[in-house]
Chains A and B, each alone.
Chain A
Amino acid sequence: MKQEITFRWVIPAIVVLLAVIGIPFANDYLLYVATIIVLMSILAVSYDVLLGLTGYLSLAHGFLYGVGAYTTAYLTTNSGWGYWPALVASAVISGVMGTVIALVAFRTRGIYFAVLTLGIGLVGYQLFLVLEPITGGVGGFIGIPGLPSLPGFADAPQRNNLVIALLVLAVAYGASMLFLRSSIGAACLAVREDVVLAQSLGIRIGMARLCAFSFSAVFAGAAGSLFAAISNFVGPDDFSVMATGFQTVVYVVVGGMGTLWGPVLGAVLIVALPEILRGASTYAVFIYGLILLFFILFAPKGIAGFLLAAAKRMSRSGRVVISKEAEAR
């Protein structure tokens, strides 16, 4: 428990440290990959609030990510909005859409919930294809304005993108921590652990689950908004169930559910891996598959569980050494 609380602060501190050291020296390619990692981390952290805290597996989050992206694309390109109001609007609209989906989806539970949200993800993908006046249809939305420049970053758009993405990640992470510590967060944990006991303690489980879903939808929308502005183009394939929906689940499961910091590490591994394996592209998918198998079979609590167990062992062995030294004295 103490180790987990430590990791909750250590991991963000490492991310900030790496950013401070790396951003001034990294080339554009590394900066772009790092920016995508941070985007996926925002998605993963917010999704962990739903999957990790309540245990409900949603496959509709790729769609919600897309809603955020298309909202920003439309507002900044066709309606002349500035980026920051568009970011807020994207988060709000995704949140509202998430709430509507949750109201429907939470009529079911377990595998039925997963299948129902899969259906919503598939329908959403089709909507992105057919609502051509708004989404650009198959061709997607092109010419989306980039992110506004922060002071001192006007000449370095890639660095600017990464810094803004990191700031949004910090907000998402901080908000998720607050959510976890709130009474709603406690209620979500209770729902995940034992629904009947949670009910017997007076917890309104429907409200707890709805809040978790809506919260994760808001930040999925924010991540989508950043993606639209950073890539200057959005197309339906970026938001399909297979592309983003399942991928988000993988970040959280491989990283370690319910920890908030674990999914950040999951996103780092899963996004960086194809880039690292570019030299062995023939085997890239094979190795990716093997890594997933490894985590499911041998480290079901993900990278976070692995690190926590290692920290616990080190802490125990440290105590043994100290007590032996004390005995020797």
Chain B
Amino acid sequence: MSLLSINAITQRFGGITALSDITMSVEEGTIHGLIGPNGAGKTTLINILSGLVKPSEGSMEFNGRQNGPWPMASAVQYGIVRTFQQTRVFMGLTARENLRIAHVAGAGDANADDLIEALALGDVLDRVAGELPYAVLRRLSLALALGLRPKLLLLDEPAVGLAPDEITKMAEVIRHFHGQGLTVLLVEHNMRFLMELASRVSVFVQGRLLFEGTPAECQNNPTVIDAYLGRGLKHVEH
């Protein structure tokens, strides 16, 4: 069953078409990967789905609700939450204040405890975010999003800049919350990370949807290999 249906979304910035007639869907309870070279329109799509940018054309349906995309506040209310490619947390506030803002750290909120434990934030709660290491900031930014208890989480390159062991931890966290019923649309350049997590993958090239299928199908598709993956990628077992 589709949680998200994207219908013929096009996005133009002046004379540049960043997304062209994108139609795709994300099934409920899945991790759906979104890959493609830089400039393919992946982040633009995330911006549209989350309400940051209004598309030039097209619409979306989410969880039975029609006439999207919606403004950001409404999108969050309906259960669509995003993270950013560049780490974005409230740098001048403590981790605890960050979580409070995301309505997480309310007294007795079991979800907050679960989040703090799953994301290993317990030791840094009273430290100002601006002083925290990069990997912790990435986890904190994920905690802000997860704290809103989304139905659909739009993850924009969560593994970027992380060391291999931190990438493994990040994958565990995503699996943990996916196991609790979270649907994820995952944009990522780290193919091993993405292919291990996703059950379905969409490939964007120059603003168009080039291919959609399972990770195995994607890695064996000559068009995708030529356009993006290249011949050097080892097959990643799903």
Contact = CB atoms under 8 A, between A and B. Distances in A.
Task: Say whether A associates with B.
Answer: yes
Interface size, A (range): 10 to 19
Given A189-B101, A196-B52, A197-B88, A202 B93 contact: no
Contacts of A202: 72-73, 75-77, 81, 148
Contacts of B128: 1
Nearest to A188: B101
A200 B89 contact: no
The 7 closest A-B pairs by CB, nearest first: A202-B76, A193-B90, A199-B72, A186-B101, A190-B101, A197-B88, A204-B73
Given A197-B88, A199-B52, A183 B73 contact: no
Nearest to B83: A200
Interface of B: 50-52, 72-73, 75-77, 81-82, 84, 88-94, 97, 100-103, 126, 128, 144-145, 148
B89 A197 contact: yes
Given A193-B91, A193-B93, A200-B52, A187 B101 contact: yes
B141 to A, nearest CB: 9
Contact of A200 (B76, B92, B93): B76
A201 B88 contact: no
A2 interface: yes
6 contacts: A183-B103, A186-B103, A200-B50, A200-B81, A201-B148, A203-B73
Contacts of A198: 101
Contacts of B91: 193-194
B94 A1 contact: yes
A209 to B, nearest CB: 13
A182 to B, nearest CB: 11
A187 B144 CA distance: 13
Interface of A: 1-2, 183, 186-187, 189-190, 193-194, 196-204
Output the residue of A187, A198, A201 with the most chain B CB within 10 A. A201
Contacts of A1: 94, 126, 128
Contacts of B75: 202
Contacts of A194: 88, 90-91
B72 A200 contact: yes
Contact of A189 (B82, B89, B90, B145): B90
Contacts of B82: 200
B93 A189 contact: yes
Given A1-B126, A186-B100, A189-B101, A199 B73 contact: yes
Contacts of B92: 193
Nearest to B129: A193
Contact of A201 (B93, B94, B126, B144): B144
A2 B102 CA distance: 21
A187 B97 CA distance: 11
A202 B72 CA distance: 6
A111 B89 CA distance: 25
Contacts of B50: 200
Nearest to A197: B88
A197 B91 CA distance: 11
Contacts of B102: 201
Contacts of A187: 101
Given A189-B93, A190-B101, A194-B88, 12 more contacts: A1-B94, A1-B126, A193-B90, A193-B93, A196-B52, A199-B52, A200-B52, A200-B84, A201-B76, A201-B102, A202-B75, A202-B77
A204 B75 CA distance: 12
A187 B84 CA distance: 19
Contacts of A189: 90, 93, 97, 101
